[in-house]
Structures are given as C-alpha cells and as structure tokens.
C-alpha cells in the first residue's frame, strides 16, 4: 500500500526551524520507520537534555524505530525501562517537569491504557492545576497504532478518541514518512504533552523521499491533499491511503472529492474542514476505530453545527465496527475502500 508521493505540496507546508526550501533540500528515500528514527536522531542531537525510553528501545525497538540511537547517544539517553506503562509515562512526566525533553515509547497503543491515569489526570492537567508554575510540555508519547492485518484484539487498536476527550494534551497522527518526521519533531518541541500515534501498518510499506534537514510541520493544521468540489473526505493516519484510493475511484466515477488529512486531532483544525464543507456541501469522515464515540462523531457534530445551511446530505461516517478488533474477520471489520466508495456515492446521490 504505497503512499503517493506528494512532495510538491509538502514543500509548501513545511517551515523549518532551520531555513529549508524544497529546491535545495537533500532528499533521501525513507520508510516510516527510518523517518521516525531520523526525527529522533535530530531531537537527540539538537538538545543534550532529550531522552528516548520505553520497553526495548535500547536495542532498536521492536519496530526498529530507535535503531542505532543508544550507540550514538549513549545508554543513559536512550534506554530500556521496566515493563510498566504507567511507570513509563509517570517517569516521563517527572523528567519533563524538570525541563527535559522526554520522548517515551509505548510499545503498542493497545497497551497505553495502564498509563491512562498518568496521561489524563497528570500530564494533561500539570500546567493548569499548578497555575503554570510547572508543566510537562517536554513530554511526547510515541506509540504504534492501528490495524496491521493480523493483530487481533491487542495489536490493532486505534484509541485516539479516548485521548481527544482530554483538554491539555495534543493528539497527532501522521500519514507517511515526511509527515511523520515533521510532525514528530513539532510534537517533541511543542511546549505541551503530545500523544503521537504511528500507523504501524505503514512502518515499512510507506516509502518516499524525505528531506534530510531538520524541519517541522505545524500542529493543529489539517492538510488538503487534493482539492474537489462534490464532497469533503476527512481522515488521518493509515486510513488516508484507503481514502486516497476511494477518492481516485470516485473521480473515475465522476465525483470530485476533496481529501483532507486532519493530522492533529486535538486541538483540531475546524476552520479548514469548515471551509471545505462550505464549498462542497458534503462531508465523509473515516477512521479505523469503532464508530460509536469515535472522533468522527466530534467532527460530524461540529461541522453540522457550523455548516448546517451548506449541507446537502447527512454527514457520513465510515468507521470500524462497534466490536473488539477481530482477527479472522479483520477484512470485514475495516472501513475498506469499498465501504468508503459506497458511502461517497450514497452521499452524492442523497
């Protein structure tokens, strides 16, 4: 499932901490894993008080995202922790509260729940409750999320909506290598705690030219991937590839779709989606997570509120089913291209 290379658009969006332009930047073929690795390397190089830690990160990580970092930056800056998610996040909060950059890894998003209390009650409220005397803004929690073909219940989940109900943190999900590097660096430097979900299905499948420089992509900014006039399609992460296929097939059927990658789920870029829906009059939101209480509901409700007079069809949601993530039945569970395409057609015909 290759991600379409859209670097011309990328160049427009990128603004660097260091000067960067697409004309002169050196590019390198990277998959999602090496883009993440590259971002972590830049983070560790740029700030001597930055740390990378979690379960099995020292030898390179179970997905190889931290390969070579311990050798290069030392066992005290890139290290394994005991197997305990609440400990990893609590530790990261304390490290960040002392002014350090703490980049924690939770091995699978499915296992982030033991740290839910630390994220929701502690990290998210740290600045607010202290009257801005203390903060843990240096904390970034990276975690692989989403379907992978055979992950079953606990290697497939997309728990982003749980975190989108929490004021005080940011939730970011990239769709490919270039976005992953830019958004991860933005998350690391952002003065707020960030939960950064990495689409593990794309770790090795998504390959593209990625700028070798140090750059960031802005948070809370959606990206319009292709413009259209009939329908706005919104998604994030691995689902973008599915939506892209569905939009291409929709176009062949004469439907002009505007595809938008939300990128940051909270605080989210309402304005870009609103402007698009005011133009197209229709909205489809799609995500892997179960439909009920999913973040699609928030987008649907907000847009219905803001674009009521512009909507020509009900907002459509194509999402995972309201079941635990199944093993054998994954092809039926997933919001596949066929489901999306049918919903696109139904919306336009409404």
Partner 1 sequence: MGWRLPLRTALWTLRGKQPKATADMVRELSHRREVYSAVPCHLHIFPILKRLQSSEPERACSQNMDEEMNDFMGRKVSYSSQMCFIPEESTNSVPCYRLLSTHGDLLDPSSINELDKELCIEMYRKMVTLQVMDTIFYDAQRQGRISFYVTTIGEEAINIGSAAALNATDVVFSQYREPGVLMWRGFTLQQFANQCYGNEYDLGKGRQMPVHYGSNELNYLTVSSPIATQVPQAVGAAYGLKMDKKDACAVTYFGDGGTSEGDFHAGMNFAAVLGAPVLFICRNNGWAISTPTSEQFRSDGVAIKGQAYGVRSIRVDGNDALAVYFAVKNARKMAVEEFRPILIEALTYRVGHHSTSDDSSKYRSVDEIEYWRTRRDPVARLRMFLQSNRWWDDENEDLLRQDLRTQMMSVLHNAESKKKPGLSNLFEDVYDVIPQNLKEQEQETQAIVGKYPKDYPSDVPLD
Output Rg (C-alpha) for the chain, integer angstroms: 20
Task: Please name which of 34, 49, 59, 54 lies closest in space to residue 101, comparing C-alpha atoms.
Answer: 49
Return the number of the residue (96 or 233) whose C-beta is nearest partner 1: 96
Identify whether the C-beta of residue 122 lies closer than 8 Å to the C-beta of residue 90: yes
50 to 69: interface string for partner 1, x by CB under 8 A: -x------------------
- Residue 48's Cβ-count burial label (10 Å; 0-12, 13-18, 19+) is exposed
d(CA 35, CA 211): 9
Q: Which is nearer to partner 1, 67 or 118 (CB)?
A: 118
| Spatial separation of the C-alpha atoms in residues 321 and 294, rounded to whole Å | 11
Crossing angle of helices 239-252 and 337-349, in 10° steps, is: 50
**C-beta closer to partner 1: residue 110 or 274:** 274
- What's the min distance (Å) between Cβ of 192 and partner 1? 5
- # residues near partner 1 by CB under 8 A: 48
Q: Which of 3, 35, 93, 260 binds partner 1 (CB under 8 A)?
A: 93
321: left (phi over 0), alpha (psi -120 to 50) or beta: beta
Task: Please pick, from the candidates 38, 107, 143, 192, the single residue that binds partner 1 as defined by CB under 8 A.
Answer: 192
Catalytic site residue 85?
Answer: yes
Collapsed DSSP state (helix, strand, coil) of residue 38: helix
CA pair distance 41, 69, nearest whole angstrom: 7
Based on the number of CB atoms within 10 Å of its own CB, is 149 exposed (0-12), middle (13-18) or buried (19 or more)? exposed
Query: Who contacts 166 (Cβ-Cβ below 8 Å, separation ≥6)?
Result: 119, 120, 124, 266
Residues 6 or more apart in contact with residue 128 via CB below 8 angstroms: 167, 168
Kind of pairing between the strands at 283-290 and 223-226: unpaired
Stretch that binds partner 1, among 4-12, 63-71, 75-83, 233-241 (CB under 8 A): 75-83
194 touching partner 1, by CB under 8 A: no
Interface segment toward partner 1; rule CB under 8 A; list 36-44, 64-72, 81-89, 312-320: 81-89
Query: Which has the closest alpha carbon to 176: 245, 236, 257?
Result: 236
Question: Which residue of the set 85, 208, 258, 298 is catalytic?
Answer: 85
Contact status: 218 vs partner 1 (CB under 8 A)? no
Tokens 């992509």 correspond to: 217
Least distance between partner 1 and beta carbon 344 (Å): 29
Q: With binding defined as CB under 8 A, does residue 229 bind partner 1?
A: no
Binding mask 264-303 for partner 1 (x = CB under 8 A): ---x--xx--------------------------------
Which residue of the set 155, 208, 244, 258 is catalytic?
Answer: 155
**What binding mask, one character per residue, do residues 33-52 give for partner 1 by CB under 8 A, x or -?**
----------------x-x-
Residues numbered 114 to 173 that lie near partner 1 (CB under 8 A) are 114, 117-118, 121-122, 125, 127-135, 137, 167-168, 170
| Catalytic residue list | 85, 155
Q: Site residues (CB under 8 A) for partner 1?
A: 49, 51, 76-77, 79, 81-82, 84, 86-87, 89-100, 102, 114, 117-118, 121-122, 125, 127-135, 137, 167-168, 170, 191-192, 220, 267, 270-271
């Amino acid at each position: 499932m290759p991600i379409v290379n859209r670097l011309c658009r990328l160049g427009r969006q990128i603004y660097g901490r260091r000067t960067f332009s697409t004309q002169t930047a050196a590019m390198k073929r990277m998959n999602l894993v090496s883009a993440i690795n590259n971002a972590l390397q830049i983070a560790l190089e740029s700030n001597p008080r930055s740390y990378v830690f979690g379960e099995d990160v020292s030898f390179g990580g179970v997905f190889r995202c931290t390969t070579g970092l311990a050798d290069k930056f030392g066992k005290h800056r890139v290290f394994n922790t005991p197997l305990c998610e609440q400990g990893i996040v609590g530790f990261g909060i304390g490290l960040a509260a002392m002014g350090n950059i703490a980049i924690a890894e939770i091995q699978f998003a499915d296992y982030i729940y033991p740290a839910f209390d630390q994220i929701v009650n502690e990290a998210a409220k740290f600045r607010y409750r202290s009257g801005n005397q203390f903060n843990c803004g240096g904390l970034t929690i990276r975690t692989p999320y989403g379907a992978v073909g055979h992950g079953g219940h606990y290697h497939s989940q997309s728990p982003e909506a749980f975190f989108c109900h929490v004021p005080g943190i940011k939730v970011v999900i990239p769709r490919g290598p270039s976005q992953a590097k830019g958004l991860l660096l933005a998350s690391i430097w952002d003065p707020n705690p960030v939960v950064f979900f990495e689409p593990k299905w794309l770790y090795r499948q998504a390959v593209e030219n990625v700028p070798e420089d140090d750059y960031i992509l802005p948070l809370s900014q959606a990206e319009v991937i292709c413009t259209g006039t009939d329908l706005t399609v919104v998604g994030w992460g691995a689902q973008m590839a599915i939506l892209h296929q569905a939009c291409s097939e929709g176009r062949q059927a004469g439907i002009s779709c505007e595809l938008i990658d939300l990128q940051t789920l909270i605080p989210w870029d309402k304005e870009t989606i609103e402007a698009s829906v005011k133009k197209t009059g229709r909205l489809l939101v799609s995500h892997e997570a179960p439909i009920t209480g999913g973040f699609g509901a928030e987008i649907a409700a907000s847009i219905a509120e803001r674009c009521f007079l512009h909507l020509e069809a009900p907002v459509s949601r194509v999402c995972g089913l309201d079941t635990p993530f199944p093993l054998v039945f994954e092809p039926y569970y997933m919001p596949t291209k066929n489901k999306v395409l049918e919903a696109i057609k139904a919306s336009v015909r409404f």
